Structure 1
Amino acid sequence: MSETEGRAPEQPGPSDFRDPMTARELKRAAVWLGLGVAIVLVWFLAQPLLLIVGGLVFASMLDGGTRLLGRILPIGRGWRLTIVCLATLGFLVWTGYFAGATIAAQFETLRVVVTEQFNRIADWVQAMGLMPENSADAIGEQVMGSLGRLTSAVGTALGAISSLAMILVIGIFVAIEPRLYERGVAWMLPMGKRQEFYETSAKMGYTMRRLMAGRLLGMAVEGVGTWILLAVGGVPMAALLGILTGLLAFLPNIGAIVSGILLILVGFSAGFETGIWAIAVYLIVQTVDGYLIVPMVAKRSVDLAPALVLGAQLLFGALFGILGLALADPIVAMIKVLLEESSGNNAEEAGATPPLILRPH
């Protein structure tokens, strides 16, 4: 009787990849390992990824302007895009020249006024016994420290300009030939998923264009309206406050709060009546934007709950700084569209009726 006789049949071991169980476990391990590596890469590459997202947001603005111009000017898309880009460049150059030549010196005055008004409020609260004696200085140091951290997050002037230039360049290249990049992404997907990707991409582009159109309209209304009304009421630094209000209007919720605080502090620095006028201006502008501009845009684009947007802003701002704060709203809107389209497609594949998505009338 040989040595091999009477032995049980050999079974594949862990090192034998022909074993179905081993292959299945290796696939699972590879998926989890890839997911972990992806999370680490996203964390370390957050700033470049946000610059790319910012470029896509800017591209949606250019594309929306090109489409809107096509309704009144029947020429080629390339010419319309060139007109929009030149108009955008002209506006940025004019704004930079005006800010540099007219109101650059007012920034230091604004900082002094805000600091003095904050100290007065702290002294009044302390006199009322609502604050311990030494806590006013501590709060002041914390506020100034937060402002310093915010400034450092923005980076140096050169870094901010280079980041803005990257966003502009990416946006222009994507707006010139959006289908090229769309086909490039679809090429990496399975054939069966490409049509679904094209439909989702079209819906996301439509939503982004509507969202940014409403955002730009709100910025213009708030900036120009605040400028004119503050100048009529004799509030100091009306031009600077109008520009800041318009820029801060890009940040829903948080931008309105910051601009309101600035308006009230500067208004009361010139007198009680001027302060009341500044409060009235803030209420009028925010009412027009909140009850006229926002509903008009929201019914044609994604409907985002204010608490959801505010929570996303706080989270993205804490994780990624000022750029994350600025892009939180578009990112949340795109995620919502992606989830809605994915849910609808999954329901269709399962043979069920897609969920009804209620839109405001």
Structure 2
Amino acid sequence: MSKAARPTAAEQPGPTEIHDPRMVAEVKRAAIWLGMALAIVGVIVLAQPIMLIIGGLVFAVILDGGTRLLGRVLPIGRGWRLAIVTLAGFGFIGWVVYYAGTTLAAQAEALQAVITQQSEKLIEWARSMGFIKQGERFDLMGQVLGGAGRLTSAVSTAIGAVTSLLMIVVIGIFVAVEPKLYDRGVAWMLPMEHRARFYDISDRVGYTLRRLMAGRLLGMFVEGVGTWLLLWLAGVPMAALLGLLTGLLAFIPNIGAVVSGVLMVAVGFSAGSEQGFYAIAIYFIVQNVDGYLIMPYVARKTVDLAPALVLAAQLIFGALFGILGLFLADPIVAAIKTTLQELSAGKKAAGKRPSLPAGAGAEADPGPERPSSAPRRAPAGER
């Protein structure tokens, strides 16, 4: 640089240089508000990709949980255990499609006809009771589908559904192969003093979601198989299809149980009053087993989610993010609640921690202790 180009003492700060502390604080505050606004807009615009990523993370949690569980009985490398769990899952799905696909497809067509017939009978009964005016056209299925609105926009076509499912599977497998790699990637963007706390919270959220998904899969299995066997023994038609639908819908708390119950009762009464009452009894038996045996056990091992809280989250996420938001509302709420509990526990422990005496700064800080009521942390071998 030449002498003429060098700054001199007579030069004054330019308009881009901010030295006033109040101005700096205002600029930072404006940047925070602008960042929040952009984040909200990004969530709205990128709702579908965000839900696909969250779905992939939930699928990764399921694969990771199965891999850890298999490691307790099969001491081989993690990669081999993950491959076994993944292939077993896809193998089960392929078996169901291959051996039961034709039967279930025929039952699905019959189910549609039965639901249409039963809805027409319900409308006629409502007309006879005066709930609907005579001559008024009432399309029950149209009302249901119209009310669903945006809940079905994410999977409006079969191609879109298959593509979304494929993306979730691919993301889940990549994350499950090496989950700590992605933990370190997120932690790298945080300040050094917050990284240890982030790893702590990440471990606890993963622990919670693994047990939550394990309980959800167990509930799906119990409800699906139990419904199929009991309906088959009671002589209710389409028992296999109703069992499959009940098991799949069990992944969605509250709403899934209502939908499967309506289908079950409608098919039962289509075969006769006796089968209809059997269907009602079977529905309550299966739901009570899941609600009073499986779910309380899962809540003790993870976080206790109030039914009204989960239902409200399902309605909000379903309206904002479509069918994927409806499916993923439960794990999202569990992850948020676990994170808030961990942050609250850390602040309480930090507030109660006695101050160190003079000259004790070199001693190691023990860090916040977890409350005794919190679920047991996973052993080091499981992380």
Q: Could you state the TM-score of these two structures normalised by the residue count of structure 1?
A: 0.91
**1:40-189 alignment runs, 5 A limit:** 40-134=41-135, 137=138, 139=140, 141-146=142-147, 150-189=151-190
Contact persistence 2:154–2:160 (CA under 8 A) = no
- The one-character-per-residue Cα deviations of 1:225-275 (angstroms, maximum 9, x if unpaired) are 111111111111111111000000000000000000000000000000010
Instruction: Give SS of 1:154's match.
Output: coil
Q: Is 1:308 paired with 2:298? A: no
- Any runs of at least 4 consecutive aligned residues in structure 1 with deviations exceeding 4 A, and if so which? 11-16, 147-152, 352-360
**1:223-238 alignment runs, 5 A limit:** 223-238=224-239
Q: How much does 1:13 deviate?
A: 11
Q: How much does 1:350 deviate?
A: 2.7
**Against the structure 1 CA distance between its residues 145 and 99, is the aligned structure 2 distance closer, same or farther, given a 3 Å change threshold?**
farther
**1:334-353 alignment runs, 5 A limit:** 334-351=335-352
- The two structures, once aligned, show a CA RMSD in angstroms of 2.2
Deviates more, 1:197-206 or 1:342-351: 342-351
Q: How much does 1:176 deviate?
A: 0.7
Q: Which residue of 2 aligns with 1:7?
A: none
Amino acid at match of 1:189: L
Contact persistence 1:347–1:354 (CA under 8 A) = no
Contact persistence 1:12–1:18 (CA under 8 A) = no
Q: How much does 1:346 deviate?
A: 1.9
Identity of aligned residues (%): 63
Contact persistence 1:14–1:22 (CA under 8 A) = no
Instruction: Give SS of 1:318's match.
Output: helix
Question: Which whole-Å CA distance do the structure 2 matches of 1:149 and 1:275 have between them?
Answer: 33
Deviates more, 1:111-120 or 1:255-264: 111-120
Question: Which whole-Å CA distance do the structure 1 matches of 2:278 and 2:16 have between them?
Answer: 79
Instruction: Give SS of 1:155's match.
Output: coil
Q: Which residue of 2 aligns with 1:217?
A: 218
Question: Which whole-Å CA distance do the structure 2 matches of 1:235 and 1:249 have between them?
Answer: 20
Question: Which whole-Å CA distance do the structure 1 matches of 2:151 and 2:178 have between them?
Answer: 36
Q: How much does 1:135 deviate?
A: 5.1
Question: Which whole-Å CA distance do the structure 1 matches of 2:233 and 2:139 have between them?
Answer: 38
Instruction: Give SS of 2:352's match.
Output: coil
Question: Which whole-Å CA distance do the structure 2 matches of 1:164 and 1:312 have between them?
Answer: 22
Q: How much does 1:85 deviate?
A: 0.8
Q: Is 1:256 paired with 2:248? A: no
Q: How much does 1:158 deviate?
A: 1.2
Question: Which whole-Å CA distance do the structure 1 matches of 2:348 and 2:153 have between them?
Answer: 47
Q: How much does 1:280 deviate?
A: 1.1
Amino acid at match of 1:245: T
Q: Which residue of 2 aligns with 1:6?
A: none
Q: Which residue of 2 aligns with 1:326?
A: 327
Contact persistence 1:317–1:325 (CA under 8 A) = yes
- The one-character-per-residue Cα deviations of 1:319-360 (angstroms, maximum 9, x if unpaired) are 111100000000000000110111112223333698968579
Amino acid at match of 2:242: L
Question: Which whole-Å CA distance do the structure 2 matches of 1:75 and 1:268 have between them?
Answer: 52
Question: Which whole-Å CA distance do the structure 1 matches of 2:369 and 2:135 have between them?
Answer: 60
Q: How much does 1:150 deviate?
A: 4.8
Question: Which whole-Å CA distance do the structure 2 matches of 1:350 and 1:12 have between them?
Answer: 44
Question: Which whole-Å CA distance do the structure 1 matches of 2:182 and 2:24 have between them?
Answer: 35
Runs (5+) with no aligned partner, structure 2:
1-11, 354-367, 376-383
Runs (5+) with no aligned partner, structure 1:
1-10
Question: Which whole-Å CA distance do the structure 1 matches of 2:212 and 2:63 have between them?
Answer: 13
Contact persistence 2:71–2:81 (CA under 8 A) = yes
